[in-house]
Homo-oligomer: A and B are copies of this chain.
Amino acid sequence: MHPTADEAAVLAAADAFYTAFEALDMTAMAACWARRDDDVCIHPGWEILTGWREISASWRSIFANTGFMRFEASDLRVEVIGDVARVTCVERIFSVADTHTTHGAVAATSLFLRTDDGWKMTLHHGSPIAATHQVTEIDTGGMDN
């Protein structure tokens, strides 16, 4: 299915967010956000941060403590409802902070607002996905049923 023009623009805004995050670039990150008092950010495992002042401080702290960050986003889904757009995806993360390397998967919800300056993020919520156990079907050799 081809995305609509709105959906394509929202996906480009989501892509700009991940590019800014990988670049650890505060100016590019700030440009992605609506920068309102009502913005919300919930980093994986963190409390709820509200308002651009708190949120921007968190990004500065994360960028200062991260040496390397790469994302692979999968299962991207976008829905546009009026002037609000919702994006969900799974972020597969590889990061290096000091000597500590992290691999992991995060389920992410983002909300964007339609503004005169394009689609801007107003909410980002990431939550760690617990490692799941692979359940293997036992070959019973056709013994049951």
**Which residues of A are at the interface with B, using a C-beta cutoff of 8 A?**
38, 40, 42, 44-48, 50, 75, 77, 79, 81-84, 86, 88, 90, 107, 109, 111, 113, 123, 125-130, 132
Contacts and interface: CB of A to CB of B under 8 A. Distances in A.
Contacts of A113: 81
B107 A42 contact: yes
- Copies of this chain in the oligomer: 2
A111 to B, nearest CB: 7
Given A42-B109, A126-B127, A77 B90 contact: no
21 contacts: A40-B86, A40-B109, A42-B107, A42-B127, A45-B127, A45-B128, A45-B130, A46-B107, A46-B130, A47-B107, A47-B132, A48-B75, A50-B77, A50-B88, A81-B83, A81-B84, A81-B113, A84-B84, A86-B123, A126-B127, A127-B128
